[in-house]
Every structure is written in structure tokens, then in C-alpha cells.
Amino acid sequence: MLLSKFKFLFINTKKIILPFMFICFTFLLIIFSGSNFEAAKKGINLWLNSVVPSLLPFFIATELLSYTNIIYYIGRFLNNIMRPLFNVPGEGAFAFLMGIISGYPTGAKIVSNLKENNICTKAECERLIAFTNNSGPLFIIGTVGTSLLFDTSIGFLLLFTHILACITVGIIFRFWKYKESDPYTRYKPNQKPRVTFNNLGDVIGDSIKSATNTVVMIGGFVVLFSVINSMLSNSNFYNVIINITSPLFNSIGIDNNFLQGIYTGLIELTNGVQYICNIPTKTISTTIIICAFLLGFGGISVMLQVLSITSKSNISIKPYIIGKLLHGVIAAFYTYLIISNFSYFNLNI
């Protein structure tokens, strides 16, 4: 009897928690309307000046390529690498390569397309989603390395450990739902119309429409999480969490000055990395290692972007969450090893 009452209470709590959060969010929008307005403008500027120029062309390109045989040829050419290493078909290399080149959330978009077109099974797409959605070189080298840390070599270090960590995660996830798919049994792919000069206008128009919808959705997330970060900061939420967790971080050598940047980055990557890099410190290696973790994890904002993309394809978000946590930890560990063993990267004063 007591157990059934507990279950009833738990189920009812689950039903009201999201509505309660949305009500709190609405009230906080009103209470902190001034700072929220500035945060929203900052988010829109970030989206217009960074996200649209960097992601829209790649999204259009990937949509256009889906009307060609390129994914099929990549699959045939790289199957002998992708299957033994990651337990996915060779077509998964397209998501892996484009995810590295163009950054969040291109990898998730391509994996979703592979599932919708029956090129990969559900289990294979869940393995792929764990390691193919990554931060791009333009952001890691250009923004973090050159603009924020004023050292391009640090950007290359972070990119190297980021890629190495994502490959490691992919190898680990080759065992995800290992018994649920037969590597010798393939689905019959859904055939998209191939691009010709006769249907070129329709193909380009459809590709632009699909890419624009995705970029607009990402823009909404950028603005939303800029506002959320502003509200959490102005409501002293971060200060409360920092006071609770500081003993744990201090025990592993992370100063309290870094904590708000870490929590900001866990929610939204760009603002968190910017906050961390702007902290004046003599232990530069700590800054670099924390940036490696945040770049690998990607933040809750990106996680929800991925969920909005993959939910239509019935791909579970669970392997993505586990994979990104592993990615962040492994990238930070690899970065620590390199900084500790190569004096060139040890920039502590």
C-alpha cells in the first residue's frame, strides 16, 4: 500500500514538474525583464553574426549532397574502417566528417537523415549520435584559441584532443545495443530523387528551406538560453550552487573563480567558454582543460537542439547524453596529459 502511494506521488510529480518550470520561467521573464531584454539581443546578435554564417552553408551543402550518390560511395569506400572500429556502416563516415568540419549540430542533422532514409538502423544511429556531433574547428581554433586565449597553438591542441576524444567515445559506443543489429543485414534505403538539370531548381529550393528551418530553430535555442543564463545569474542561483559545490571542486584543484563559467558552459557552451577564458589567472592550464571539457560536452542548449532534430527520427537521446559526458571528461584528460608532458603547452606563470 505504501509502495503504491509512493509510485502515485512520483508519477504525479513528474506530470507537474515541467508545467511548474515553465510557470517559473514566465515569472522570471517579467521580474528580470530589463536584463532579459539585453540577453535576448545578445543572443540574436550571436546567432546572426556567428551561427547563420557558419552553419547555414553547411546545412544547405549536406541537404544538396543527400540528392546525390556521394553518401553511397563514401559508404562503400570507408565501410572496412567504420564497421570494425565503430560498428556502423561506412555511410556513417559522412556524419563523422561533416560533424567535425562544421560543428554542432550538423552531425545530429546528418544522423537523423541517415535514419529517415533507412541508410542506418536505429541502433547504428544511436551509436553514431554519441560521437559524430562535435564542436567545429572554426569555433575551437578561431574563437577559443585565437580570439579568447590569444594563442592559435592552444586552439590546435584543443581541436586535436577534441577529435581524439570523440574517436575514443565512438570506439566505446561500438558495443551500444551490440546484439540488436546484424552487420550483414541492411535496410533498403529510401530513394530520394537524384538531382538533375531538370529538377535542380526544386532541389536547391527544398535544400535551402530545410536548412533555413533548422538554423531558425537553433537561433531560438541560442536566444532562449542566453535569457536563461541571464536569469540564473541575476537570481543568484549560480552563487548558491557555487557555495554548495566549491569544496568538491577545490579538492581537485579548481578555484572558485572558474565555477560560474563551468555552470554557464554546462548550460550554454559559447557564454561558458567566453567566461572561463576571461578569468585572469596564473594557472592557464586549468583554463585550457576546463575549455576542453566544455567543448566536448557541448552544453544543455546543444543537447536540446539535438533532441529536437532526432526526436522525429525516433533516435534515443540517451546515448548522446552519455557520449557527450564521456567526450568532455576524456578530452579534458587527454589535454591534461599533453600539457603535463609537453612543456610547450604548459603556460602557467
What gap in Å lies between CA 102 and CA 98, rounded to an integer? Answer: 6
Please tell me whether the peptide bond between 105 and the residue prior to it is cis, using omega within 30 degrees of 0: yes
Q: Among residues 342, 335, 306, which one has the least CA distance to residue 128? A: 306
What would the pLDDT profile of 86-119 be if each residue is shown by its tens digit?
A: 999 988 998 998 888 877 888 888 899 888 888 8
pLDDT grade for 310, boundaries at 50, 70 and 90: confident
Q: At residue 159, does pLDDT exceed 50? A: yes
What whole-number distance in Å separates Cα of residue 297 and Cα of residue 290?
11
| pTM of structure | 0.84
Query: Is residue 303 scored above 80 in pLDDT?
Result: yes
How large is the average pLDDT for residues 27-55?
83
What one-letter code names the amino acid at 31? I
Angle among Cα 55, 321, 124 to the nearest 5 degrees reads 80
| 263 within 8 A of 299, measured Cβ to Cβ | no
What cell numbers appear for 151 in the block?
594563442
- What SS3 class is residue 31? helix
The least confident of 37-41, 145-149, 187-191, 232-236 is 187-191
For the segment 252-294, what is each residue's pLDDT rounded down to a tens digit?
A: 888 888 999 999 999 988 888 888 998 887 678 889 999 999 9
Rounded CA-CA distance 163/334 in Å is: 11
The answer, yes or no, to whether residue 297 has pLDDT greater than 70, is: yes
For 91, the 3-state DSSP assignment is: coil
Contact 68, 192 (CB under 8 A): no
